[in-house]
Amino acid sequence: MSTEGNALADRPRSSVVGIEVPHESAALHVTGAALYTDDLVGRTPGVLHAWPVQVNHAHARITSISVDAALAVPGVVRVLTRADVPGINDAGVKEDEPLFPDEVCYVGHAVAWVLGESLEAARLGAEAVEVAIEPLPAIVTIEEAVEAASFQGTPRTISRGDVETGLSTARHRFGGELQIGGQEHFYLETQAALAEVDEAGQVFVQSSTQHPSETQEIVAHVLGLRSHEVTVQCLRMGGGFGGKEAQPHGLAAVAALGAVLTGRPVRLRLTRSQDMTMTGKRHPFHASWEVGFDDDARIVALRTTLTADGGWSLDLSEPVLARALCHVDNAYWIPNIELHGRIVKTNKTSQTAFRGFGGPQGMAVLEDILGRVAPALGVPADELRRRNFYRDGQSTPYGQPVRHAERITQIWDRARETSTFEQRAAGIEAFNSAHPHRKRGIAITPVKFGISFNLTAFNQAGALVLVYKDGSVLINHGGTEMGQGLHTKMLQVAATALGVPLDLVRLAPTRTDKVPNTSATAASSGTDLNGGAVQDACRQIVDRLREVAAPLLGVAPHDVVLADGRVSAAGGGAELSWYEVVAEAYMERVSLSAAGYYRTEGLHWDAVRMQGSPFKYFAYGVAVTEVDVDGFTGAYRTLRTDIVHDVGDSLSPLIDRGQVEGGFVQGAGWLTLEDLRWDASDGPARGRLATQAASTYKLPSFGEMPETFRVEFLERARESGVIYGSKAVGEPPLMLAFSVREAIRQACAAFGPVGHSVELALPSTPEAVFWALTAARQAQAAGRPAPRAEPEAHAAGSNGLLDGVPATPVPAEG
């Protein structure tokens, strides 16, 4: 086992991993030559276009759908309704997501699809479809759902120790609530599929999907076919971020159904507003919490209830909740803890995976608590955080030992040093006292993020490596490319494992008829899993080539070394080229292709008791951010961010840096800017997403990038048991962005008296920041040292210091 692990993690002397290479498609990207699913439309003759019939009601029973008027619209070819489904009418795997519903479950729910010769014809056809409905009462907010006991899925609890005693004996006790906003993925490429049927009835769907195997499975069950009759290909995605893990399936199935029924290719691409109103987002959460600290400001006990807004169907809400519960602790040791989680069912889009998969929402709770209570404990927030870090030998609330816990402190201290945190904090104090209308804040926050799918079975992957007689190499693996650079890393892994130059290896698009039964490219695990599988396939070939080369070199097979396109004896001497050995292998009838397979060892997880070791390892990182807040408006700028992140030994530094920076900015968007507003009024627009376009839903642009942005990787960080000693990097950096929100909190506090505790809505938009700093100013004007007096230690039944103060000052929906 350990030798296996080492072979996986050890890098040969000359390796192509670790080298800084641009994205494998970079030259195609920049010239517009790279093709995405919808770019194929003009290259597909006779294509039909699909347009959804969306109903603008949050909740209603459908009493009839009349398509006659639609069919009369010139250019309309067919209207797809429930009656057309030959197989299972479900867009998911949980049977709670009808593809053609009887009930409208959220505003914008698509109940039928129109196929037209042009997009315009299909749209006009959709306008002409008459849907008769009977309105039903709708649940829009988490509070309404809790009140109505509208839950779905199984509630879960993680617990350890004795929280009741912990809280009641704690020297300082606080309680409060936090509303955590959702987030739209806003992948620049909206959901798209293009389906065709060939002469043998094989259904071929090109889909912008992170999970081709599941897309295939669902297309097959909707069509009443078996998996081998459906092939799904994903060329590349224009971004995914989790939004294309479960959401593309139903759309691909609609296109496939249309293709089967009409015999013509069908293209389905959502417009931005359709995508925003129809597909799931990051789950909004509500958290209520109680926490106790001892005299040294160490956490004694924490109890929290997380309520996730799952939307109208379950989708991935259960695993998202599990990951949220597994990440409340973040990097902190909490001896007594009780984490409750539940999922409400609301009349909204079905919320889904989004980079971090619940982890960010879980972490937000404790990071928010620490930021809020630090002033009341009289300890600087950075000191409070450091004091509570995990130490070696401690384990998480779900029972997994925190391996390499020392790295948290090591990275933290390094980040403080490289960012000159101390000096800058002093400088900021001086700046703030000189500027009545502008304040700066600096904050440092950690990330500990568990890597692997919580569900053990998903942690497997396959690959196919083909070596042609001329020595060129083509690889296939089960992972999809959405910009994260997975394909680039796989090329580097294959070149390294085969000992050939990078330009000898090509990669073919992801297809279900090349590698079957793949897991979603998700949970940051794409490289770990597929890299293991690619390496396994390459090693099989290398072992065979060693047998071929050994007699030619006059050494034993295990002494044959393949490197840089040369095949030689370990001790030196004669040398053959890769080409010669490949050609010889062919002549000797030695197979030059191999299917690789990988599964992550050492995982176990009891999903009912919520105990075990679900993660192969933890990824660590720390960020230091400084912001500047305008006291007149609440607008802020991020002046500087310094990140130290643990990517193990980087496989591809340029790619990894891109993931760290991109994740950080995306996280900052979620925490401080991106604002999903659903109409919660009783008016006719109830349940409508008010921010359903790029003009109303603002994601970070250039102005949100830190003006100075420094990223450093932890050095000598080899992770044993992972492909070439690396660590996953897709999701963890998103949570480094807590440093932005905490820095804003520090800046707001500077408008108030010493010891003022700042409550900040999430997202912390300029308006939210303005109210937070206004509260601070008012406290200053009132001469109060803090918003409440001393915390009421031991106050039985009391929620203490911060309770009763609304966490979101401005609900203003509509």
Partner 1 sequence: MSARTEVELAATVNGQVRAMDAVTGATNALDWLRAQGLTGAKEGCAEGECGACAVLVARPDEQGGTRWTAINACLIPAASLDGAEVVTSEGLGTPGELHPAQREMAVRGGSQCGYCTPGFVCSMAAEYYRPDRRACDPGPERGPNGFDVHAMAGNLCRCTGYRPIQDAAFALGEVPDDDPLAARLSRPAPAPRATVLDGETAFVRPAHLSDALAALAETEGAVALAGSTDWGVEANLRHRRVPLLVALDHLPELRTFEVTPERIEIGAALTLSEIERALAGSVPLLEEMLGQFASRLIRNSATLGGNLGTGSPIGDAAPALLALGASLVLTSVRGDREIPIADYFTGYRQSVREPDELIRSVRIPLPLLPRSSFLKIAKRRFDDISSVAVAIAADLDDGVVREVRIGLGGVAATPLRAVAAEDALRGRPWDLGTVAAAATVLASEGTPIDDHRASARYRAAMLEQSLLRFHASTTEGVAS
The one of partner 1, ligand FES, none whose footprint includes residue 690, by CB under 5 to 8 A per kind, is partner 1
For 109, the 3-state DSSP assignment is strand
Q: In this complex, which beta carbon is closest to partner 1, that of residue 190 or of residue 305?
A: 190
**What is the C-alpha to C-alpha distance for residues 348 and 579, in angstroms, rounded to an integer?**
58
For 111, the 3-state DSSP assignment is strand
**Nearest C-alpha neighbor of 664 from the set 718, 622, 616:** 622
Shortest distance (Å) from residue 276 CB to partner 1: 10
Task: Rule CB under 8 A: say whether 637 interacts with partner 1.
Answer: yes
Q: In this complex, which beta carbon is closest to ligand FES, that of residue 279 or of residue 400?
A: 279
End-to-end CA separation in angstroms for the chain:
58
Of 71, 455, 466, 705, the one binding partner 1 (CB under 8 A) is: 705
Number of other CB atoms surrounding residue 157 within 10 Å: 13
Task: Rule CB under 8 A: say whether 657 interacts with partner 1.
Answer: yes
Q: In this complex, which beta carbon is closest to ligand FES, that of residue 483 or of residue 791?
A: 483
Q: In this complex, which beta carbon is closest to partner 1, that of residue 326 or of residue 428?
A: 428
Task: Give the CB-nearest residue to ligand FES.
Answer: 188
Shortest distance (Å) from residue 767 CB to partner 1: 5
- Write the DSSP string, 613-668: E--SEEEEEEEEEEEEEETTT--EEEEEEEEEE--BS-S-HHHHHHHHHHHHHHHH
Of 72, 188, 426, 556, the one binding ligand FES (CB under 6 A) is: 188
Binding mask 362-401 for ligand FES (x = CB under 6 A): ----------------------------------------
The one of ligand FES, partner 1, none whose footprint includes residue 88, by CB under 5 to 8 A per kind, is none
For residue 212, cis peptide bond before it (omega within 30 degrees of 0): no
**What number of chain residues touch partner 1 (CB under 8 A)?**
86
Q: In this complex, which beta carbon is closest to ligand FES, that of residue 379 or of residue 711?
A: 711
Task: Rule CB under 6 A: say whether 483 interacts with ligand FES.
Answer: yes
Tokens representing 743 are 């820095």
Q: In this complex, which beta carbon is closest to ligand FES, that of residue 34 or of residue 563?
A: 34
Q: In this complex, which beta carbon is closest to ligand FES, that of residue 42 or of residue 393?
A: 42
**DSSP H or E stretch at residue 535:** helix 526-553
For 611, the 3-state DSSP assignment is strand
**What is the C-alpha to C-alpha distance for residues 441 and 629, in angstroms, rounded to an integer?**
8
Q: Which residues inside 659-678 make contact with partner 1, applying CB under 8 A? A: 661-666, 673, 675, 677
Q: Which residues inside 678-697 make contact with partner 1, applying CB under 8 A? A: 690-691, 693-696
**Nearest C-alpha neighbor of 339 from the set 383, 268, 266, 287:** 287
Binding mask 3-42 for partner 1 (x = CB under 8 A): -------------------xx-xxxxxxxxxxxx--x--x
Which of the ranges 398-406, 440-448, 602-610, 658-666 carries the binding residues for partner 1, by CB under 8 A? Answer: 658-666
DSSP symbol at 574: -
The length of the chain, given as a count of residues:
814
Shortest distance (Å) from residue 110 CB to ligand FES: 22
Number of other CB atoms surrounding residue 810 within 10 Å: 12
Residue type, 471: G
Number of other CB atoms surrounding residue 348 within 10 Å: 30
Shortest distance (Å) from residue 189 CB to partner 1: 5
The one of ligand FES, partner 1, none whose footprint includes residue 550, by CB under 5 to 8 A per kind, is none
DSSP symbol at 520: P
Shortest distance (Å) from residue 48 CB to partner 1: 16
**Nearest C-alpha neighbor of 339 from the set 396, 284, 380:** 396
Q: Which residues inside 382-421 make contact with partner 1, applying CB under 8 A? A: none
Shortest distance (Å) from residue 87 CB to partner 1: 32
Give the strands of the sheet with 103-104, arranged side by side.
Answer: 103-104, 60-66, 130-135
Q: In this complex, which beta carbon is closest to partner 1, that of residue 482 or of residue 786?
A: 482
Q: In this complex, which beta carbon is closest to partner 1, that of residue 29 or of residue 403?
A: 29
**What is the C-alpha to C-alpha distance for residues 206 and 208, in angstroms, rounded to an integer?**
7
Query: Among residues 217, 731, 742, 759, which one is catalytic?
Result: 731
Shortest distance (Å) from residue 538 CB to ligand FES: 29
Q: In this complex, which beta carbon is closest to ligand FES, that of residue 237 or of residue 366?
A: 237
Binding mask 122-161 for partner 1 (x = CB under 8 A): -x--------------------------------------
Beta bridge partners of 130: 66
**What is the C-alpha to C-alpha distance for residues 504 and 582, in angstroms, rounded to an integer?**
13
Shortest distance (Å) from residue 30 CB to ligand FES: 11
Q: Which residues inside 261-320 make contact with partner 1, applying CB under 8 A? A: 271-273
The one of ligand FES, partner 1, none whose footprint includes residue 590, by CB under 5 to 8 A per kind, is none
Q: In this complex, which beta carbon is closest to ligand FES, that of residue 237 or of residue 779?
A: 237
Q: Widest CA span of the chain, in angstroms?
A: 90
Rg of the Cα atoms in the chain: 28
Give the strands of the sheet with 460-467, arranged side by side.
Answer: 505-507, 473-477, 460-467, 593-599
For residue 763, cis peptide bond before it (omega within 30 degrees of 0): yes
User: What helix, strand, coil percent values describe the chain, rounded to 5?
Assistant: 35, 25, 40
> 774: Cβ–Cβ under 8 A, 6 or more apart, which residues?
none
Q: Which residues inside 48-87 make contact with partner 1, applying CB under 8 A? A: none
**Nearest C-alpha neighbor of 478 from the set 495, 462, 493, 489:** 462
**What number of chain residues touch ligand FES (CB under 6 A)?**
3
Beta bridge partners of 593: 466
Shortest distance (Å) from residue 183 CB to partner 1: 11
The one of partner 1, ligand FES, none whose footprint includes residue 466, by CB under 5 to 8 A per kind, is none
Q: Which residues inside 299-338 make contact with ligand FES, applying CB under 6 A? A: none
Shortest distance (Å) from residue 25 CB to partner 1: 6
**DSSP H or E stretch at residue 79:** strand 76-80
Q: In this complex, which beta carbon is closest to ligand FES, that of residue 239 or of residue 427?
A: 239
**Nearest C-alpha neighbor of 493 from the set 368, 605, 598:** 598
**What is the C-alpha to C-alpha distance for residues 450 and 728, in angstroms, rounded to an integer?**
10
CA 444 to chain centre: 22
- Write the DSSP string, 163-207: HHHHHHH-SEEEEEEEEE--B----SSPPEEEEEE-TT--EEEEE
Of 414, 438, 539, 788, the one binding partner 1 (CB under 8 A) is: 438
**Nearest C-alpha neighbor of 505 from the set 21, 13, 6, 7:** 21
Shortest distance (Å) from residue 570 CB to ligand FES: 43
Q: In this complex, which beta carbon is closest to ligand FES, that of residue 481 or of residue 628?
A: 481
The one of partner 1, ligand FES, none whose footprint includes residue 474, by CB under 5 to 8 A per kind, is none
Task: Rule CB under 8 A: say whether 484 interacts with partner 1.
Answer: yes
**Positive or negative: CA dihedral 222, 227, 231, 232:** positive
Task: Rule CB under 8 A: say whether 433 interacts with partner 1.
Answer: no
User: Is 245 in the active site?
Assistant: no
**What is the C-alpha to C-alpha distance for residues 776 and 773, in angstroms, rounded to an integer?**
5
Q: Which residues inside 231-260 make contact with partner 1, applying CB under 8 A? A: 236-241
Task: Rule CB under 8 A: say whether 43 interacts with partner 1.
Answer: yes
Which of the ranges 476-484, 493-501, 530-538, 547-555 carries the binding residues for partner 1, by CB under 8 A? Answer: 476-484
Which of the ranges 133-141, 581-589, 700-708, 791-799 carries the binding residues for partner 1, by CB under 8 A? Answer: 700-708
Task: Rule CB under 6 A: say whether 239 interacts with ligand FES.
Answer: yes
DSSP symbol at 282: B
Active site residues: 731
Footprint of ligand FES on this chain (CB under 6 A)?
188, 239, 483
